A and B are shown apart, each in its own frame.
Chain A
């Protein structure tokens, strides 16, 4: 597990009120306060309970397939002619993305708390599938809220969830994407407080979710750090990950935060460009505000109304970002950059052809950033990127964009 953070560590947040600097907090209705206080108390106990940690590790090994490999992308490295490129292969996990790491952890907590019903929100459907999977594995009923627009563009994942026994509720409010699904999940939770556990899929929401989800995802960075030391005898120069809510990114970044020489880059969805509102670049083009239980960077108008945003990738289509990323940005420890839809689409195709890996559209944004950076770096330098999900779910979206009927 995590080593004890050093004094002046970047890894000691949040404080006891769930704050990372000015970000984070517990901005929820009173009905939910006792629940998140219970959750926090249970999480504090569980994380120091060897039994809990053992069960988590066992399921990690035998159910998820951990550790995921760290893969040297030789052909992509040659093609770009610069830094050596390594991928942390989270797309090889059971269910095809990093989302399962968090779901296994939280369902063990739900079980400890005696909850008998699971609810979740999902954008691309990866978290929905992972939630439905662990609910099936532990025999609990599961309701997944998903924006109606996403239900349409992620049909294969909707069918997967249904096969796994989950009920998928299409949310038509707003633009029918992830933010609206999260509103609806919160409404369900407020209504069914006694038996229901809300399995949030990203490192955002009220305290303790951002911290807890990060800790469940930090296994990515812990393994990657050890694996790169074994492969190269040193730490990478840059770590890169795509950021929507930011759980795969914080999972990779967190164990590297105190490694001074490691540059940290989060890639936001630039959509059609940052000029208008057709993007989801909360940090690069948004401002701090309060939504879904936390203060963080948001896309909003000057009256504080939340904007819908746009991304080619349903998983990045969220107008906010986890509060720890907002803090890492403001203190300058991490850098956040936008990548446009068309750049992500090109990166998707390049990786598929050069490495025989079909990436999800979410990490395709990170790949596009790697494509920009690697050629400018020396051949003795190293980039480590989180390949957070596989792209099978996206082939219909990509087919449509490339003008190929499937």
Chain B
């Protein structure tokens, strides 16, 4: 069986355009609103969904995503409910790949085997676990791959030529190139450096390479999209959620539409990326 992920990237390749990969935090600021956001993403132009799993101590995230996680936890979000989000989403969309992104401890406490089974049943296609480098593959990566869940790895500017094969080994779905050293939500680096880095990764793998960290506008998305197989946008989307809330952090009538309007803009940028590159 061809996976949702492979099918999606094959389709995009045929269309000759990069993927728009959108991150949002599950349960931010409440379950119903975040389900609304998730359902609105594909229609707004998202090709792959990254579903954030809130964690109390998100060491690699900046304040925007950290606060989103705190809002979600305050709203009663748990790992089980984040799986429910995927399950509810799948009732109306069985094509858009879903990648869960977060930290290992909630999965470890949930139970690795039970998590993998429940994630498969909920329609999860891949995992990005920030604090599980290749050295820790026995924990979750290998059991997840064995059951058919993609394990997507982050590569960074510190991942040198010598280490790249280690990182790419056991990576599937796509490769997520973190375009700078730093936390999520930092400034965008020079796009010309990015195309060099993407080419370097492509020397070692046939997997699609998606680039993230620092993408905030349609123009950014267009510039990055010209150099990569996909553009990952996270913090800027989460900031749209935050900006739409009441001062007590509750959702408003504008929350879902703020996200979909913003993602539609990014989508326009991504869809015009290759046209520029071809000029």
> A residues touching B (Cβ–Cβ < 8 Å)?
17, 25-35, 173-174, 179, 183, 186-187, 190-194, 287, 289-293, 295, 298, 300, 302-306
Contacts and interface: CB of A to CB of B under 8 A. Distances in A.
Interface in B62-120: 62-63, 66, 73, 78-80, 103-110
Given A190-B182, A193-B181, A305-B73, A30 B133 contact: yes
Contact of A304 (B79, B153, B163): B79
Interface size class, chain B: 35 or more
Given A173-B66, A187-B62, A179 B57 contact: yes
Interface in B158-214: 158-160, 163, 167, 178, 181-183, 186
Interface in B12-27: none
Contact of B183 (A25, A173, A191): A191
Given A304-B106, A305-B106, 8 more contacts: A17-B135, A27-B133, A30-B153, A187-B60, A187-B183, A193-B181, A305-B55, A305-B56
A305 B107 CA distance: 10
A46 to B, nearest CB: 22
Given A30-B153, A290-B131, A304 B158 contact: no
B76 to A, nearest CB: 10
A27 B134 CA distance: 10
Given A291-B57, A303-B78, A303-B79, A30 B104 contact: no
Given A290-B105, A305-B56, A26 B181 contact: no
Contact of A190 (B133, B163, B167, B181): B181
B71 to A, nearest CB: 13
A33 B135 contact: yes
Contacts of B134: 33
A30 B109 contact: no
A28 B73 contact: no
22 contacts: A17-B135, A27-B131, A29-B130, A31-B154, A31-B156, A31-B158, A33-B133, A33-B159, A34-B160, A173-B66, A190-B60, A190-B183, A192-B181, A290-B105, A291-B57, A300-B109, A303-B80, A304-B110, A305-B55, A305-B106, A306-B57, A306-B105
B34 interface: no
Contacts of A287: 109
Contact of A291 (B105, B158, B186): B105
Contacts of B80: 303
Interface centre among B107, B109, B186 (most CB of A within 10 A): B109
B158 A26 contact: no
Given A190-B60, A291-B105, A305-B55, A30 B182 contact: no
A262 B200 CA distance: 57
Contacts of B130: 29
B32 interface: no
B253 interface: no
B155 interface: yes
B149 to A, nearest CB: 19
Nearest 9 Cβ contacts at the A-B interface? A304-B109, A304-B106, A191-B182, A305-B56, A31-B156, A304-B105, A303-B78, A27-B131, A29-B60
Nearest to A26: B135
B132 interface: yes
B136 interface: yes
A32 B132 CA distance: 11
Given A191-B183, A305-B55, A30 B159 contact: yes
A305 B110 CA distance: 11
A219 to B, nearest CB: 30
B121 interface: no
B156 A30 contact: yes
A183 B55 CA distance: 12
Given A179-B57, A190-B181, A191-B182, A27 B132 contact: yes
A290 to B, nearest CB: 5
Contacts of B160: 34
B276 interface: no
Nearest to A289: B105
A279 B182 CA distance: 33
Contacts of B153: 30
B10 interface: no
Interface centre among B107, B108, B153, B167 (most CB of A within 10 A): B108
B56 A29 contact: no
A302 B109 contact: yes
Nearest to A172: B63
A25 B108 CA distance: 14
Contact of B106 (A34, A179, A303): A303
B128 to A, nearest CB: 11
A29 B59 contact: yes
A26 B166 CA distance: 15
Given A27-B104, A27-B136, A28-B131, A193 B62 contact: no
A210 to B, nearest CB: 15
Contacts of A33: 133-135, 158-159, 163
Interface centre among B58, B103, B156 (most CB of A within 10 A): B156
A245 to B, nearest CB: 15
Given A30-B133, A187-B183, A193-B181, A300 B105 contact: yes
A27 B106 CA distance: 14
A36 to B, nearest CB: 9
A19 to B, nearest CB: 11
B92 to A, nearest CB: 27
Given A26-B133, A27-B131, A34 B79 contact: no
Contacts of B104: 27, 290
A29 B154 contact: yes
Contact of B131 (A29, A193, A303): A29
Contact of A292 (B55, B59, B109, B110): B59
A373 to B, nearest CB: 35
B212 to A, nearest CB: 13
A125 B112 CA distance: 38
Contacts of B73: 305
Contacts of A31: 60, 154, 156-158, 178, 181-182
Contacts of A289: 105, 108-109
A174 B58 CA distance: 11
